[in-house]
Chains A and B, each alone.
Chain A
């Protein structure tokens, strides 16, 4: 069971104790993420966090990397819209030395100019690399088109222009504002006692500046109306990547769990409606799924498939039919009984390791989820009825305001794909190597 402990500092600290393996997992998370990057500085949160391992008082980047490896540790930065998390793990025997190192990285970063310029060049090369990954292209274009100018439409890595514009001054200012005791949440899982955790937390945060949690000014997103198609044009695609979606759910909606449960029936398991129709019956796509993402504000509902180019249009048509039928006719009692059995019994795998249990508590804190979001999960699922699930689907999912994103070769698929979307109000073709994967101001009608 995860406990919240008092480390004697201002940061919130969680511990999930388990002594089965001599391993310690560490999370150091900010209550702010890429949604809080200054305008025109997309990617600043990620770059600031990544700079921490590139210079601290008395330590240059090479010394730091050598030390992490020598101690049997590793660390990585994970950037989301609402938080930035440094995830680390270390062999237990090195935990004290590792915490001392992390404490120095967090407490005395130096942001060397040459390292920042190097990191920016690395980031630009990584942005180039994403052009090779069609699924990433689809996700990026989907985010852009779904959320438009809202903070959730941004790319955590930034764009070529915004990354180039980031300076040492930007990184230092961002660090000073966000890496404060009140804006940091710390968690430990594994071979750690409460006494260890309190001591480690002090080692990590002692040198952070005082300061309260940063205010979150990100409001609810709105999306454009109508049925829109964005075709990310890439040559020689034998296969397409398709995302279809709309605005979805918010964890504080009274019908949030009902919508999540209904989504599981629609596309959350191997025997879901979507998987059965797209993969099992027709063999069109290796995977077919639907999900209702969560964040502090309303996120998206989306369906994902990746059929061969010649199957893209019929696959989209089928997905839309299935979606319409689900919204109109709802789910059955038999489907609900089935999914409740699955969700309640498989819950054991959500909490079968100490790091998983820790991350649930940290998520509640960072995403400002209802306090019993995970602890009351089983009761919430059991309380869903056919009527509440169907009402949630009808109320939340507006199929007339629908976004379809396809990565494929436009010459081969544009015509059949546009014909496969009834009531299509606009479509736009975006080159896969465009700096920003979004439609221009006047998409073709």
Chain B
């Protein structure tokens, strides 16, 4: 090995970093590397359980720093829904070392930006910084991992902000509200039944004690993953990580208590009225987990059905029948089995029932006939384009790496999935459609404009949107 390469060999770098570390600091271990297209992701761990994935990308003088915690709304319980999301907001507040507001101020004065996201399986925080400011992200993230201060005024104010976010995304948003109802309808046991935003009554009821307990339970190095992508000196980054996180103690992460969702054997339907101009239709079938081999097949099937202007449903609903203004489909990318969702918005003068008839007919075709090879090839090309687009920026790459590592334990799974897409055949799609698109295991939400009665003769329940009771 040439001398220069030897100097940058991970084991050599780790040896130097550990030798320079203060006594009692968690040691760094090199765990191997993963091919990431033409680049390489290297995996390290700290002795306290913190996982680290690094990708050196010198194409721009910037660095993206993601911290993924293995906690999301699935780890909440009824009566305390929305806690993971509220907590994400609180993480931008006071620590033992920083007064309220200083976290953002320090980032901004260094030209950095930050944000965060919470979902069913995880929570992440990210900073985008000029490359020479990496140490700031490590300093701030390591600080708030263990020294957050949770006081009544901050919790109260942040509850207000979260309640407003909920109004924005759900209460005053037809699609947000319908999506929430759909999950509530489809899941009866699994925690995916409640929204990541949380029910409003639960948000209003949180106390600083709830937040403190949540923090001490889930925010620890052994429940976290740090992903760094950018123009960095890898050895220096490892040294900074060790200094920042090396004194953190690991925690005992409680075993998960998520109940598996029992098979759904009857169609469930909910009808609501909202201040909207036209009818909307939402349907969800129970789908595979992200790690299931069928997930790639269903993703191809969704592209054939709903992927863009040449897709079957766009043509059927928007172009040919002209009864919808828009439609979409999505295969849930969850650790446990999620939903396959299809939705459409009716044009004026058309009804949710008409939308459903067309969607049902197209889904029946998928079960009864094979899709064409050309449709499959188009779907594959669209998905390949989408993966390439996600790799254009350092933050895009860091997000892909962190997401797939957190959910599947494989930072390069995006490329594994591309390979899986390439193997999908028309008969695979028909098999998956038959397996997952069973009418008796679906859930439906129909939305009608205020003042408009649902079709006469419907014997399903009607409900105001605030009533979350499902009707089976």
Contact = CB atoms under 8 A, between A and B. Distances in A.
Given A70-B381, A72-B385, A345-B110, A21 B167 contact: no
A71 interface: yes
B113 interface: yes
A358 B318 CA distance: 34
B62 A131 contact: no
Contacts of B171: 238-239
A61 to B, nearest CB: 8
Given A126-B325, A286-B161, A342-B111, A235 B310 contact: no
Interface string A406-440: 00000000000000000000000000010000000
A338 B108 contact: yes
Given A18-B59, A239-B164, A69 B275 contact: no
Interface in B168-227: 168, 171-175
B405 interface: no
Interface string A123-142: 00110110110100000000
Nearest to B347: A125
A351 B165 CA distance: 31
B277 A131 contact: yes
A181 interface: no
Contact of B167 (A65, A238, A338, A345): A238
Given A21-B391, A238-B172, A239-B172, A91 B101 contact: no
Given A237-B172, A355-B392, A128 B60 contact: no
B105 interface: yes
A20 B59 contact: yes
Interface string B378-409: 11011011001101111000000000000000
B61 A348 contact: yes
Contact-size category for B = 35 or more
Interface string B142-162: 000000000000001111110
A79 interface: no
Given A128-B277, A283-B159, A341 B109 contact: yes
B325 A285 contact: no
A91 B310 contact: no
A116 to B, nearest CB: 13
B394 to A, nearest CB: 7
Nearest to B465: A236
Given A74-B385, A238-B171, A306-B168, A282 B325 contact: no
A228 to B, nearest CB: 24
B60 A69 contact: no
Nearest to A407: B172
Interface in A67-106: 68-74, 89-91, 94
A70 B377 CA distance: 7
Contacts of B370: none
A65 B101 contact: no
A67 to B, nearest CB: 9
Contacts of B9: none
A284 B322 contact: no
B462 interface: no
A74 B381 CA distance: 10
A376 B274 CA distance: 50
Nearest to A71: B381
Interface string A341-377: 1111111110111110000000000000000000000
A279 interface: yes
Contacts of B172: 134, 237-239
Contacts of A308: 163-164, 167
Contacts of A131: 276-277
A270 interface: yes
A279 B168 CA distance: 14
A342 B114 CA distance: 13
Interface in A6-64: 18, 20-23, 61-62
B133 interface: yes
Q: For B105, B164, B348, which residue has the most chain A Cβ atoms within 10 angstroms?
A: B164
A165 interface: no
Interface in A308-355: 308, 338, 341-349, 351-355
A118 interface: yes
B110 A72 contact: no
Given A69-B381, A308-B164, A345-B130, A128 B348 contact: yes
A193 interface: no
Given A280-B101, A353-B393, A433-B277, A66 B133 contact: no
B308 interface: yes
A18 B57 CA distance: 13
Contacts of A276: 101
Contacts of B267: none
B234 interface: no
A307 interface: yes
A289 to B, nearest CB: 14
Contacts of B391: 21
Contact of B319 (A23, A118, A235): A118
B109 A353 contact: no
B164 A306 contact: yes
B109 A128 contact: no
Nearest to B303: A69
B242 interface: no
B128 interface: yes
A94 to B, nearest CB: 8
A271 interface: yes
A125 B325 contact: yes
B326 interface: yes
Contact of B275 (A71, A121, A235, A353): A235
Given A234-B275, A306-B164, A345 B308 contact: no
A132 B60 contact: no
A122 interface: yes
B276 A132 contact: yes
B325 A122 contact: yes
Interface string B250-262: 0000000000000
A134 B128 CA distance: 30
Nearest to B133: A345
Interface in B365-379: 374, 377-379
A352 B168 contact: no
Given A66-B310, A90-B385, A131-B277, A346 B111 contact: yes
Contacts of A279: 161
A71 B158 CA distance: 47
Given A236-B275, A284-B160, A23 B389 contact: yes
Given A125-B325, A131-B276, 6 more contacts: A72-B381, A72-B385, A74-B308, A91-B384, A91-B388, A354-B392
19 contacts: A18-B59, A61-B319, A62-B315, A69-B308, A69-B382, A70-B377, A91-B381, A128-B325, A129-B326, A235-B450, A270-B108, A271-B105, A283-B160, A283-B161, A285-B161, A286-B161, A286-B164, A349-B62, A353-B393
Interface of B: 59-62, 100-101, 104-105, 108-114, 128, 130-131, 133, 156-161, 163-165, 167-168, 171-175, 274-278, 307-310, 315, 318-319, 322, 324-326, 345, 347-348, 374, 377-379, 381-382, 384-385, 388-389, 391-394, 450
